Amino acid sequence: MGVRGDVRGWWERAREFGASRPQAVDVGIALLVQAAMTMPFVVPRPPELEPATWRAYGLTTLTVVPLIWRRRAPFAVLLAITATSALYRLAVEGPGQPLPYTGLVIVYTIAALSPPPQRLAAALLLVVAVPVSVWLNTRSARELTFSLFVFAAAYVFGRLTDARQRAARVETERAAARERARIAREMHDILSHAVSLMIVQAEAGPVAVRAAPEKAEAAFDAISATGRDAMAQLRRMLGVLREGTEGPEPLEPQPDLGGLPGLLEGVRAGGLEVSYGTVGGVRSLPTATGATVYRIVQEALTNVVKHAAARTAAVRLAYGEGVLEVVVTDDGRGPRRGARPAAGGHGLVGIRERAAAHGGTAECGPGPEGRGFEVRVTLPVAAVREVAG
């Protein structure tokens, strides 16, 4: 296991190095190919053949050098390799190579990196160049078949590499989109909830100053506390997003069911009476599920404060067998007759998205007996452990 882990770590470091320094990788590949093409020159030749010359070896180097620019201009490099290979075949009596190394590398590169027109042009060129090369060498069907096979294999490997890289890019983009959506939901929940409470407290402030001055100070304190809490949460979130800092900022755990009492107290401070109850055996939840429940309740109560003109609201968590139902109701004005409350704004959309992310459902509409408004979310939950009540 340790050796496998070491090999995997080495491979990951090699990939990171290749991604950050592609030119160095191309130079390394050219040197490796040059080393392979040097072998026939250092192996003794049969006496009946002329000895290998430095002129012939120099031409092999001339054939390899264009590989350094294989990513920048792959089709131009293919033309250069074809020309230098033909010059080597026609102008000198040098040792042959067991494989067309330079041709295979550039065909792989074109298949992996070039657009379709260049790939088609390269294929047409090879259809002509490979048979001509075989005719100048052995004129055998065996060599022709082998040459066509190895070039086709190089092309197929190049296309597979391109497909794998495209799939990786698509997955990266999807992951980035999911993360952007998650951050947008978090910022919406934080700001919408805080601003709504601050507005309610600010509107109640002048009335309290005239009617009950002792309550005005409490209202302004609540505004200040809500604003500071929102700023602290946003600062932590922006610290996570900020790049180039000299170290990660300290992160606080995601809110969970343990934070619901504090959330409800903050809403009550704004003048809305909120009751809270549970049904069934209360269980601890996975961290992600607990954070989702907290945000759903937060957003539902924010909508009550902003839109319902309600006096009371109720939050109920019903623990069933493998399921948790979150219900938030109010006695406000509810949806207008003929309206489509289920469409909702960003808040209700966010609630549905959070529920769907856990394989659950969210329903929004008129409350019991048509009064007020109700948000009902059902989440599949695996029992972790039961909490002693």
**Can you tell me the distance from the alpha carbon of 315 to that of 276, in angstroms, rounded to the nearest whole number?**
5
**Can you tell me the distance from the alpha carbon of 230 to that of 3, in angstroms, rounded to the nearest whole number?**
49
**Can you tell me the distance from the alpha carbon of 348 to that of 295, in angstroms, rounded to the nearest whole number?**
11
Pick from 134-138, 146-150, 193-197: least confident: 193-197
- Tell whether pTM > 0.75: no
**Can you tell me the distance from the alpha carbon of 173 to that of 98, in angstroms, rounded to the nearest whole number?**
43
Average pLDDT over residues 313-339: 83
pLDDT band of 238, cuts 50, 70, 90 = low
From residue 24, how far is each of 21, 27, 65, 109, 335 by CA, in Å? 5, 5, 14, 16, 65
* Count of structural domains, the chain: 2
Domain containing 380 — which CATH number? 3.30.565.10
Mean pLDDT of the chain: 80
Count of positions (residues) in the chain: 389
In this model, does residue 68 exceed pLDDT 90? yes
**Can you tell me the distance from the alpha carbon of 140 to that of 46, in angstroms, rounded to the nearest whole number?**
22
Burial class (CB in 10 A: 0-12, 13-18, 19+), 261: exposed
Question: CA geometry: angle at 323 spanning 319 and 328, to 5°?
Answer: 60
CB atoms within 10 A of CB 168: 10
- The secondary structure element, H or E, covering residue 161 is helix 141-211
**Among residues 139, 166, 199, which one ends one of the domains?**
139
3-state secondary structure of 104: helix
Decide if 245 is inside a domain: no
Decide if 206 is inside a domain: no
Decide if 190 is inside a domain: no
**Among residues 109, 139, 169, which one ends one of the domains?**
139
| 387 in Cβ contact with 284 (< 8 Å) | yes
- CA 114 from chain center: how many Å? 25
Q: What digits encode the pLDDT tens for the residues 177-231? A: 887 777 777 777 777 777 777 776 676 666 655 666 665 666 666 677 677 777 7
Question: CA geometry: angle at 299 spanning 278 and 220, to 5°?
Answer: 100
Decide if 144 is inside a domain: no
Residue type, 250: P
Question: DSSP readout, 328-384?
Answer: EEE-S--SPTT--TTT--HHHHHHHHHHHHTT-EEEEEE-GGG-SEEEEEEEE----
**Among residues 139, 154, 184, which one ends one of the domains?**
139
In this model, does residue 340 exceed pLDDT 70? no
- Read off φ and ψ for residue 361, nearest 5 degrees: -130, 160
Domain that holds residue 54: 17-139
Decide if 200 is inside a domain: no
Sign of CA dihedral 215, 219, 220, 221: positive
pLDDT at 308: 80
| 234 in Cβ contact with 223 (< 8 Å) | no
**Residue 205 token pair:** 């402030």
**Residue 29 token pair:** 């590949």
Decide if 201 is inside a domain: no
**Residue 208 token pair:** 């309290």
Residue whose token pair is 């794998």: 164
- Sheet with 323-330, edge to edge strand ranges: 273-279, 312-320, 323-330, 373-380, 361-366
Decide if 31 is inside a domain: yes
Q: What digits encode the pLDDT tens for the residues 261-319? A: 888 888 887 778 899 999 888 888 888 888 889 889 988 888 888 888 888 999 999 99
